Amino acid sequence: MTHTIGVIPGDGTGPEVVGEALKVLDAVRRVEGFDVELVRFDLGGERFLRTGESLPDEELALLRQMDAILLGAVGHPDVRPGILERDLLLRVRFELDQYVNLRPIVRYPGVQTLVPSHGEDDVNMVVVRENSEGLYSGAGGFHRRGTAHEVAVQESINTRHGVERIVRFAFGVATKRRQKLTLVHKTNVLTFAGDLYQRVFNEVATEFLNVETDYVHVDACCIYFLDQPSRFDVIVTDNMFGDIITDLGAMIQGGMGIAAGGNINPDGVSMFEPIGGTAPDHIGKGTINPLAAIGARREHRRRPDRGVGSSNASLRERAGRSLSSRSSMRSHACRYRPRGW
Ligand code: IPM
Ligand code: MN
């Protein structure tokens, strides 16, 4: 059985950490006895500066045919903020409907964190971040831009469908763990979006009576991450809050070089990434910690929502079907084998 993995090394230290993750993948595939075909995508800041392209439609179509995608990082000092994020990273998340951003916050043995009072077992949770809507939907606009009367509107879009599917997914994850799910939001101020989340959460909870439920405001959640992280098993939250609390989560697990996450489409193609970004200060120095990328690769094999070591037959079947169409691959997306394979 061959797993076809799209690899987007991207920018900054992305290629370095992806290189290390692929070495681990090679070792694991030898031990466990499965085959991997890598399809490399030349996407990111360098490509954008060279060609003006962020993510051409043909490459997006090719990404859809992968079993999974491993992403290093995207972002370039010479590219205006927002372009690569929106047109590449968020476009993949949205177009492939990777509506779950699954971010485990776990400690590895011996890894020190900035919070000495935390025992190694105190930090062991999974954040289920909504990944397809909210403030990330791109809705809004300017009025009288650049004038003294400028108006900038950035809307948070929250759909019943979107909220329900993420809440349902989170209950599923909690069922497979310690059976505790906490909704994190800001219902005392965001009385529309928060109300929708809380109502859906309460409704879905009636189908999962084995899961203990809890609610925490996002600001208080930050305090608990430092003060009492063991109160959390699984957290479900919206896109923006999930983005912010998982950076804090990375710090209580040992730093941005450790934190890995998955952009999951439970019925489609998922993309796994270290969440630390391009780390420009570390480029080429061999000082960046590759564990996050290695962990991202591992999340692909061991998705917390599926249980350890399971696989997805439908993905494999689809990979089989996609083999013929891969002959049309263009030069910037090529099958490759890293040195040593
Ligand atoms: C992350 C990143 C992205 C996000 C950026 C780069 C768009 O911060 O994956 O957490 O905000 O989701
Ligand atoms: Mn982030």
Kindly list the structural domains of the chain, giving each domain's residue range(s) and its CATH number in brackets, ordered by start. 1-98+268-341 (3.40.50), 99-264 (3.40.718.10)
Is the pLDDT at 202 greater than 60? The verdict is: yes
Q: According to the model, what pLDDT value does residue 341 have?
A: 58
Residue 312 pLDDT level (bands cut at 50, 70, 90)? very low
Measured between alpha carbons, how far is residue 316 from residues 69, 117, 273, 325 in Å?
14, 45, 21, 15
Index of the ligand 1 atom closest to the CA of residue 246: 10
Q: Would the CB of 243 count as within 6 Å of ligand 1?
A: yes
The residues that are catalytic are 136, 186, 219, 243, 247
Tell how far the Cα of 83 is from the centroid of ligand 1, in angstroms. 13
Is the pLDDT at 317 greater than 50? The verdict is: no
Is the pLDDT at 326 greater than 60? The verdict is: no
Question: pLDDT digit string (tens) for 217-244?
Answer: 999 999 999 999 999 999 999 999 999 9
Q: Would the CB of 275 count as within 6 Å of ligand 1?
A: yes
Tell how far the Cα of 299 is from the centroid of ligand 2, in angstroms. 18
Q: Would the CB of 130 count as within 6 Å of ligand 1?
A: no
Question: pLDDT digit string (tens) for 4-16?
Answer: 999 999 999 999 9
Index of the ligand 1 atom closest to the CA of residue 86: 7
Question: pLDDT digit string (tens) for 33-61?
Answer: 999 999 999 999 999 999 999 999 999 99
Q: Would the CB of 71 count as within 6 Å of ligand 1?
A: no
Index of the ligand 1 atom closest to the CA of residue 247: 10
Q: Would the CB of 236 count as within 6 Å of ligand 1?
A: no
Tell how far the Cα of 247 is from the centroid of ligand 2, in angstroms. 6
Question: pLDDT digit string (tens) for 111-168?
Answer: 889 999 999 899 999 999 999 999 999 999 999 999 999 999 999 999 999 999 999 9
Q: According to the model, what pLDDT value does residue 259 have?
A: 93
Q: According to the model, what pLDDT value does residue 53 have?
A: 97
Q: According to the model, what pLDDT value does residue 314 have?
A: 37
More confident residue, 298 or 93: 93
